[in-house]
Amino acid sequence: MKRILVLLLLLAASHVKAQRIYPYGGINDVKLLKATKIALPPSGKAAFPSAYSLKKYAPIAGDQYPYGECVPWALCYSALTIAESVRMQREDSTATTKAAFSPSFIYEQIKAKTDTNCADGSVMVSGLDIMKNIGSVRQTDFTYACGKTVDTKSIIQASSFKIKDYEQLTDSSGKLIESIKAAISSGNPVSFFMVVTPSFDQLFGKEYWTISEQDLAQKDDFIKNGNPKHIRIGWHGMCITGYDDTDQGGVLEILNSWSTGFGLRGYIKIKYTDFLKLYGGCFVMHLDDWEISKTFTFKAGVKILQSTGAGTPSSHEFTPKWFGPDDLQNSKISDFGNELLRVDTTFKELDQFRLLLKGNLPTYVYIVNYNSDTHEIDTLFPYNTISPFINSRNFLATIPSEDIPITINGASSSEFLTILYSQKQLSESDLLIKLKAPGHTYFENLESALSDRIIDFKSAQFDKTDGTFTVTMDGNKYILPIVVTIRH
């Protein structure tokens, strides 16, 4: 009888825990989303592993109850902690949990002044801004609670753990899932917020969230009309830790903050197609140089994807040829003015092309074009709200994009496409001013603008087969300039 009674009590306790009403806590600020830099999606030529997971780097699923702090749980406790674990190659979930970053430290700085009960939620972009400008602290130093004061000591501690920046992943070109794969397979967890419907509450002990027509109808009504029926629905922040193309046509692995009892040990899976119908915003952060090696090998190059005539798809792929000496040790950036690296064909009026960039490590990319006939200097990349940072390893990126080509116009001349791979962010406006300085040639200005930040060509090697340079970079010499000549 005692065993039966104990079992009934355990089941009752489990049932009570599963029936907790968890606050959601996400706020969709459309204006902030539109102003957030967008990550360049991977090229259609890019390939990813069929499945990848960062779960081994994650902390044990946390519990945000009873506060609406899902956004900083997704950003700090989950994504930032995982990102640090990846960098440190820390795979002990117990040790990772002890080192996890504090949700409350961020929430107390971004919540509304009237939110005295920590129940009103927050905007994900606002949390990312705090993580970038102020930083984060360990949960052991700023425990989970509502109403805690962010004091000077905490601010000083946080300054050691700032993220360098963040970007938004979008589906504007139909490549959100590919962008997520690129991030995850490069060791970057993805924070996001999405609409969760009443069926989400029923996922305790379940592995998959399968979206029904009722879920979609409830979501559509919520987006259009708010919540006039007063059902359990709202924006909720979580963290993507993996994907699997082979499971049900493709699923994402998601870490929630509703305890280990939710889903399977805190995780659920959702189909790619269902995720795209419910998500509101996705973000990837990149860490500052906390404890990173200062000397490393960087490999990068460029190919030209040409199409003949306006509006035609890419039909030819050219690897620029090197017409300089095999030994690059005496090379200077001004040597590129002699058309040492050029496309061995002549383009025609209205021909279109794109650049296919590749690299082995995340990097900033800046592209400027110089016309030898008109002496005009134009910025080709970045443009609009696209970020110059490519946050992927072994990346392939099409620039300007697979939807936007570059068109050849004007009289016969040479175009000098200047691609700058940089491990540090550059000032685009300052670069243009220096490149256009009077009294000097374009290449003299280019060399002066980059000065001693250019890599030492003594360490450089050029692969004629795939058109890539392999160089050594460090904290002082971190810019690889590649100038490709296109004749027309």
Span 223-233, mean pLDDT? 89
Q: What is the pLDDT of residue 327?
A: 66
Q: What is the pLDDT of residue 18?
A: 46
Q: Judge if 91 and 147 occupy the same domain.
A: yes
Q: Judge if 57 and 36 occupy the same domain.
A: yes
Length of the chain equals 488
**Of 172 and 150, the one with more pLDDT:** 150
**In whole numbers, what is the pLDDT of the chain averaged over residues?**
90
Q: Tell me how crowded residue 217 is: count the other CB atoms within 10 A of its CB.
A: 11
Specify if 10 maps to a domain: no
Q: Judge if 300 and 210 occupy the same domain.
A: no
Which of 287, 311, 327 corresponds to the end of one domain?
Answer: 287
Q: Judge if 275 and 304 occupy the same domain.
A: no
Q: What is the pLDDT of residue 4?
A: 40
Q: Judge if 415 and 320 occupy the same domain.
A: yes
Element (H, E) at 287: strand 279-287
Q: Judge if 65 and 195 occupy the same domain.
A: yes
Q: Judge if 275 and 402 occupy the same domain.
A: no
Specify if 155 maps to a domain: yes
Q: What is the pLDDT of residue 308?
A: 57
The model's confidence at residue 179, banded by pLDDT at 50, 70 and 90, is very high
Q: What is the pLDDT of residue 315?
A: 67
The pLDDT of residue 422 is above 80: yes
Span 394-421, mean pLDDT? 87
Specify if 8 maps to a domain: no
The model's confidence at residue 65, banded by pLDDT at 50, 70 and 90, is very high
DSSP 8-state assignment for residue 210: P
Q: Judge if 217 and 336 occupy the same domain.
A: no
Specify if 12 maps to a domain: no
Compute CA distances 370 → 38, 47, 283, 310, 418, whole Å.
26, 32, 34, 22, 8
Q: What is the pLDDT of residues 229-283, one digit of tens each?
A: 889 999 999 999 999 999 999 999 999 999 999 999 999 999 999 999 999 999 9
- Nearest of 329, 389, 382, 381 to residue 359 by alpha carbon: 389
The pLDDT of residue 12 is above 80: no
Q: What is the pLDDT of residues 104-126, one digit of tens each?
A: 999 999 999 999 999 999 999 99
Span 182-210, mean pLDDT? 97
Q: What is the pLDDT of residues 300-330, one digit of tens each?
A: 999 999 875 445 555 688 898 888 777 666 6
Q: What dihedral angle (degrees, nearest 10) is formed by the CA atoms of 373, 374, 377, 381?
A: -70
Specify if 272 maps to a domain: yes
Q: Judge if 435 and 373 occupy the same domain.
A: yes
Span 328-336, mean pLDDT? 71
Distance, CA of 369 to CA of 381 (rounded, Å): 10
DSSP 8-state assignment for residue 37: -
Q: What is the pLDDT of residue 451?
A: 86
Phi-psi region of 375 (alpha: psi -120 to 50; beta: other; left: phi over 0): left
Q: Please report the DSSP string for 112-153 in residue order.
A: -TT-TTS-S-EEHHHHHHHHHHT---BTTTS-S-SS----HH
Which of 252, 287, 322 corresponds to the end of one domain?
Answer: 287
Structural domain of residue 111, as residue ranges?
21-287
Are 26 and 70 in contact by the 8 Å Cβ rule? The answer is yes
**Of 252 and 412, the one with more pLDDT:** 252
Specify if 137 maps to a domain: yes
Q: First-to-last CA distance in the chain?
A: 91
CATH number of the domain at 53, please: 3.90.70.10
Reading the block at residue 205, the tokens are 């002990």
Q: Judge if 301 and 282 occupy the same domain.
A: no
The pLDDT of residue 8 is above 80: no
Q: What is the pLDDT of residue 139?
A: 97
Specify if 7 maps to a domain: no
Which of 287, 311, 343 corresponds to the end of one domain?
Answer: 287
* Neighbour-count burial for 9-42, b at 16+ CB within 10 Å, e otherwise: eeeeeeeeebeeebbbbbbbbeebbeebebbbbb
Q: What percent of the chain clears pLDDT 90, i.e. is strictly above it?
A: 70
Q: Judge if 277 and 316 occupy the same domain.
A: no
Distance, CA of 323 to CA of 325 (rounded, Å): 7
Specify if 175 maps to a domain: yes
| Number of domains present in the structure of the chain | 2
The pLDDT of residue 3 is above 90: no
Q: Judge if 113 and 45 occupy the same domain.
A: yes
Q: What is the pLDDT of residue 314?
A: 58
